[in-house]
């Protein structure tokens, strides 16, 4: 029944039909995560990296109320330039579709739509999580509940540093979501390689990780897996600089009363300003690094 709402790009459909590796990519990072034209340039490069490592990219969005699994060059430009593109999570999907609007998908929404298309591997920058001060605001990203219920593995550079990393990992543990780190025991912290928190498992062999994904889903263990891939050392930010910028951005957000789905785009943009663009450069590079690992994992998953 859901197929009436979905358009799958020919390149992606061909790969799915032939049981070839496909990597899902979100679109919120295009519309709400970076300024134009960096956002579109980054999206194009991420797709090329996925292809370079022998997988097919499937950037996901909603355009004129249609779910798109795989985007054209024109689609990427629209998402990068238009100001009225909605930020779409699980709760928003029915209305963005019904109203025929344009929507950029968050981690949660991308997971849902990737799952509908039969795509199991998804690359993003960082996942959402428990916000700082959540004991008072109850602000917890829908990404976490989606990870508990939807069978998609998410490659990320960790939880976005603006969040409470420790509480986010506690939430994931409660929901039975495996959290692994690539090449290290420590879970990465987005702009930096170290968070001070350990992952459940260290993974050095993507073939072994692919087998673990098969075992998880073959056993009927619902939900995804968080795969933390540390930013390359060459592009890692100084922890003191980024921590100071985050604190200042959070303070301004509280002062302006910004909350809900608007807070993450605001904080990320403010941090870019406070770090004179360094955080944006790091953000772009960590996404590229994730795309490489995600494509390699997709190949290993389809070959195992």
Who contacts 51 (Cβ-Cβ below 8 Å, separation ≥6)?
A: 57, 295
Distance, CA of 267 to chain centre: 17
DSSP 158-217: BB-TTB-HHHHHHHHHHTT--EEEESSSBPPBTTBS--S-B-SEEE--HHHHHHHHHHHH
Query: Which residues face 226 on adjacent strands?
Result: 154, 179
Vertex 32 angle, CA 98 and 88, to 5°? 25
Let me know if 26 is a catalytic residue.
yes
Asked if 295 and 52 count as a contact pair (C-beta separation under 8 A), the reply is: yes
Find the catalytic residue in 87, 160, 270, 292: 160
Find the catalytic residue in 26, 77, 146, 236: 26
Rounded CA-CA distance 204/201 in Å is 10
Q: Token digits for 230?
A: 């540390």
Omega of the bond leading into 89 within 30 degrees of 0 (cis): no
Let me know if 11 is a catalytic residue.
no
Q: Please list the active-site residues.
A: 26, 160
């Amino acid at each position: 029944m859901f197929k009436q709402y979905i358009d799958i790009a020919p390149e992606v459909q061909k790969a799915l039909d032939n049981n070839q590796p496909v990597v899902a990519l979100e679109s919120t990072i295009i519309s709400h995560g970076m300024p134009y034209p960096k956002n579109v340039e980054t999206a194009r490069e991420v797709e090329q990296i996925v292809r370079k490592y022998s997988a097919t990219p499937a950037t996901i969005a909603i355009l004129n109320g249609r779910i798109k699994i795989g985007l054209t060059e024109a689609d990427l430009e629209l998402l990068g330039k238009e100001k009225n593109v909605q930020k779409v999570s699980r709760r928003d999907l029915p209305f963005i579709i019904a109203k025929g609007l344009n929507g950029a998908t968050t981690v949660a929404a991308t997971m849902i739509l990737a799952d509908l298309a039969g795509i199991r591997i998804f690359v993003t920058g960082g996942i959402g999580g428990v916000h700082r001060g959540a004991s008072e605001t109850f602000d917890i990203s829908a990404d976490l509940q989606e990870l508990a219920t939807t069978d998609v593995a998410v490659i990320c550079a960790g939880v976005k540093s603006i969040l409470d990393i420790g509480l986010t990992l506690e939430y994931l543990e409660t929901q039975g979501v495996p959290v692994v780190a690539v090449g290290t025991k420590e879970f990465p912290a987005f702009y930096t390689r170290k968070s001070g928190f350990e992952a459940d498992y260290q993974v050095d062999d993507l073939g072994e990780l692919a087998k673990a994904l098969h075992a998880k889903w073959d056993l009927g263990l619902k939900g995804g897996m968080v795969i933390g891939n540390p930013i390359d050392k060459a592009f890692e930010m100084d922890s003191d600089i980024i921590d100071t910028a985050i604190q200042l951005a959070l303070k301004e957000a509280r002062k302006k009363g910004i909350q809900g789905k608007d807070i993450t785009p605001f904080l990320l943009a403010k941090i870019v300003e406070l770090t004179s663009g360094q955080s944006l450069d790091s953000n772009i590079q960590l996404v590229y690094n994730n795309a490489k690992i995600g494509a390699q994992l997709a190949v290993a998953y389809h070959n195992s």
